[in-house]
Structure 1
Amino acid sequence: MKFPLKSLSSLTALGLLMTAPACTGADAPESPDAVASVTQAATIAAIAIDGDASTYENLQVLIGGRISSLDEVARILGTQSLTSRDIFATTDGQEIRVEGAIGTLTAQGESIDGFKAISDSALKPVGVRSVFDANGTLIELRFTVLPTSDPQMNEALAQVSQMNALIQDLSKRYPNIEKENPDTFAQKEAAQLEKIATLYCLASGEKPGCAPNTSAEGGGDPKSKLALSNWWNWVITYLLDFSKVGVIPNGTSCPSQYPLVQIYHDDEDKKNANSRSGWLGGITSNNNTLFRFCKVDGRNFMPLAYSGSQYNYTVLNLSGICPLRTTRYMVRHFDNEDSANANWGSGPTFPNVNVLGRNWVMSFCAFTANAGSLQMAGFTNYGFSYGVFAPSNMPGPISLGGGALYKDDQDGLNINFWVGGSDNTMNGGSNTWMGLARVK
């Protein structure tokens, strides 16, 4: 059962992205009259989640433990409003209290603020139960909030997640993958390589058989060594190409031997709150964000040999498999503008995916300071000035200038999430903060 609703607000929303079975069984209305009463009342109700009108279904109302209607709630409340911290979410069949959440109930509907404690990364609906005390009479609303009205996007995001999982499996089984013979590797891993390519094409909104830009524009070209002819050979071109990564040029171009990669984010249109400070290098930040990277050999990167999290740094993954000394693999899903989205990318962007042309999923290689047995005292000189993602307080002389970038991602029904977690080089929930440091 799904009900139309009236918008309470158009402020920023936080996506509710957890598994949530609807209330069933003993809680179901006991008669056709009860069902009719609930349905009729629900057509005038509005549910707002963190300031944004939410799409919901399976609404049920209990007063004093008995199935009732919103008409009865309105009669009890009159012109008063009730607030409550008894807000619960159901995930995987287990109900938890959402710490910090506050609900407000009036005769016109309900609003709930403070759902940030709910995971940003799950993509399924969440079951919500809110309990209010009206002078000793308990009023309970139960409903299921849908995280997105676009099931195609959910499917595409699942395809990206599966693609990344298959790449990471190869990374674990081939710790020195650059040393593999391309033809032998292609024969042995044919099924998995074709699956990775298929998932990439589908998530990008293309049919299997698509051929994105390869890394052959500069440096190694494993594809030229392949005797086998398969449409998915471009995956091998990336995977065996010396764990390439993206660094941020100080200008808007790269030397010819280091391919330029551009990733354009169409950020939130309404009341855009993008901001920036300090060094941005080749990144253009206005109401939208254009990232520019130079594709370089990732084998030169390892943790900095200094103590303290202020020496952490992150680079863009541009081969699928991060350099061997990477501390942590990190993925960010950016929920870009829903209306007339203008996302685009150029250059060898894989494994970063412009999902259905509307949401970017970007892959990063993170390095924790003073970790592991092999470390570096400073960054490699590639013959041009560049920077990395890093804490704003990265000390000199490692940092030659710090900066920061704040992205106002899609407001309504936001489904931003991290895989592998965020850190002090980049973080955020429904919006994204990224620190920057020029290191050469």
Structure 2
Amino acid sequence: MNKQWMSRALPFALCALAAAFTPAAFAEDSQEETPQEERDFAEKLVPETDAQKRYREYAENLERRYPDSAKVDPERFVAEEGEAYALLYCQALGFEGACVVESKDGVDQFVAHQPAKAGAKAALMPWWYWLFPRLFSVGVIPDRNCPAGTEVWIHHDDEDRRNANGRGGWIGGTVSGGNTTWRFCRVPDKSTLAFRPLPKAGDHHDYAVLKLGVFCPSGARTVIRRQNNEIWNNQNNNSGAVSIFPSIQGWPNPMPIPVTGPFPFTVTQYCHFDGAAPSVLGHMSAFPNLGYAYGVHAPSNFPAPWALARGWVHQDDEDWFNQNANWGNWGLTWMVGGGNTWRSLARVR
């Protein structure tokens, strides 16, 4: 055998062998160890309810009809489509009909809309008025902590059996261990509009922020990721359905554990900016100064001067009957994965 060929082939063979024994690959085999009672329980579950599908499809259609949010008339949208959008979101959360936002112990939460109790206030504004202040907003990843009153967090209960979670480099305020808690700071509406595409083209100039409104800033597109979380004794949690809107998380917050119904899941929405994408408001030469250090989701080769530090987080999602899914994520390099989910991050301020 040609020695030169062997010297070239050996490194590739060793890499392939190493890949076969990575923690992620090892974890995928754990589904065969899933107890029968957990398998039987999973058979009663569905990856997505009809209501959640209707809401997602409406949101996708909205993206096509309003390709640049800078051209959206907020008052006209709320008047013409606000009720339909809000109703679909309420039903996706598990309400039979409409829902409204109420404050309890200083925390906003969704409750079922009861017209008889709305009183004179209903004559002044529609039940879906809660949508109006939530049309445009995004979240960024704090280096440490968020300004008071702005933190948004989503806790994922990741796979318990042979957990293969991982992380490296800069992950900011993200908590990554056997489970994962993503922490974000809500950006004021005025600063949200300052986020735009970078002027240079190429996937390595892409970045994304958490979507916290109906529309993304000018020049961005919506990306949706569904992750199936741990089925058994699930401990999903978040800072509140109102807080993480328009994303949705099932079990045990905001809905109790059902006998039948959707998988314990997390459906997260992002605003993705392609490098040099067209924007009515133009491109962005520097990330907005928000008064604190923060980062965004960005490719692992996100270049300087925008990237001040880089990192990544890998989540070992539920192994048994996993039905992770993506919508609108063509061309992404900062979030990849089938049965598991890998995201890269970059500190930009």
TM-score (ref. length: structure 2): 0.72
Aligned residue number for residue 245 of structure 1: 138
Residue 236 of structure 2, aligned match among 319, 343, 350: 343
Q: CA RMSD in A?
A: 3.2
Matched, 1:312 2:206: yes
Deviations 1:304-333 (A, max 9, x none): 11233212111110002111210x321000
- Who is 2:172 aligned against? 281
- Counterpart among 262, 276, 288 of residue 370 in structure 1: 276
| Structure 1 pair 191–400 and aligned structure 2 pair: CA distance change class (3 A) | closer
Q: Is the 8 A contact 1:315 1:365 kept in 2?
A: yes
Residue in structure 2 matched with residue 12 of structure 1 by the alignment: 28
Q: Give the count of matched residue pairs.
A: 285
Read off the aligned partner of 1:355 and give its amino acid letter: G
**Contact 2:159/2:316 (8 A) holds in 1:** yes
**Unaligned runs of at least 5 residues, structure 2:** 1-25, 108-120, 253-263
Does the CA-based 8 Å contact 2:198-2:284 persist in structure 1? yes
1:126-183 deviation line (CA, Å, top 9, x unaligned): xxxxxxxxxxxxxxxxxxxx9x6134x3452x422321332344452594476433xx
Paired AA for residue 364 in structure 1: Y
Select the structure that is richer in helix: 2
Structure 1 window deviating more from structure 2 (160-169 vs 419-428): it is 160-169
**Residues 272, 408 of structure 1: 8 Å contact kept:** yes
**Runs (5+) with no aligned partner, structure 1:** 1-9, 15-49, 56-145, 218-224
In the superposition, relative to structure 1, how do residues 198 and 421 fare at CA in structure 2: closer, same or farther (>3 Å)? Answer: same
Letter in 2 for 1:408: D
SS in 1 for 2:223: strand
The answer to whether residue 287 in structure 2 is matched with residue 379 in structure 1 is yes
Residue 138 of structure 2 contacts residue 212 of structure 2 at CA under 8 Å; is this kept in 1?
yes
Q: Which has the higher contact order (CA 8 A, sep 6+)?
A: 2
Question: Is 2:87 the partner of 1:198?
Answer: no
Hey, what's the Cα distance between the residues in 1 that align with 2:85 and 2:71? 14
* 1:322-361 correspondence runs (5 A): 322-326=216-220, 328-347=221-240, 348-357=243-252, 358-361=264-267
Give the Cα–Cα distance (whole angstroms) in 1 for the partners of residues 167 and 84 of structure 2: 41
Distance 1:259 1:409, change over 3 A: same
Determine the structure 2 residue equivalent to 1:109.
none
Shift of 1:420: 1.0
Partner Cα distance (2:33, 2:152) in 1: 35
Q: What is residue 131 of structure 2 aligned with on the other side? A: 235
Residue 176 and residue 377 in structure 1: after superposition, are their counterparts in 2 closer, same or farther (change >3 A)?
closer
Distance 1:13 1:305 in 2: 44
The answer on whether the counterparts of 2:207 and 2:297 sit within 8 Å (CA) in structure 1 is: yes
* Compared CA separation, residues 190 and 274, structure 1 to 2 (3 A): closer
Structure label with greater radius of gyration? 1
> Counterparts of 2:201 and 2:86 in 1: how far apart (Å)?
42
Is the aligned partner of 1:189 residue 2:76? no
- Following the alignment from structure 1 to structure 2, what is the Cα–Cα distance between the partners of residues 322 and 227? 31
State the match for 1:259 in structure 2: 150
Correspondent of 2:55 among 141, 158, 163 = 163
SS at match of 1:303: coil
**Counterpart among 397, 412, 416 of residue 324 in structure 2:** 416
Deviation at 1:237, TM superposition (A): 3.1
The 5-angstrom pairing of residues 52-201 of structure 1 reads 149-151=43-45, 153-156=46-49, 158-171=50-63, 172-173=65-66, 175-176=69-70, 179-181=73-75, 185-189=77-81, 191-201=83-93
SS of the residue 2:171 aligns to = coil
TM-score (norm 1): 0.58
Which residue of 2 is the match for residue 438 of structure 1? 347
1:388–1:186 CA distance, 2 compared to 1 (3 A): closer
Deviations 1:51-103 (A, max 9, x none): 57899xxxxxxxxxxxxxxxxxxxxxxxxxxxxxxxxxxxxxxxxxxxxxxxx
Deviations 1:172-197 (A, max 9, x none): 2594476433xx65443355134323
Displacement of 1:13: 6.7
Q: Tell me, what secondary structure is at the counterpart of 2:162? A: coil
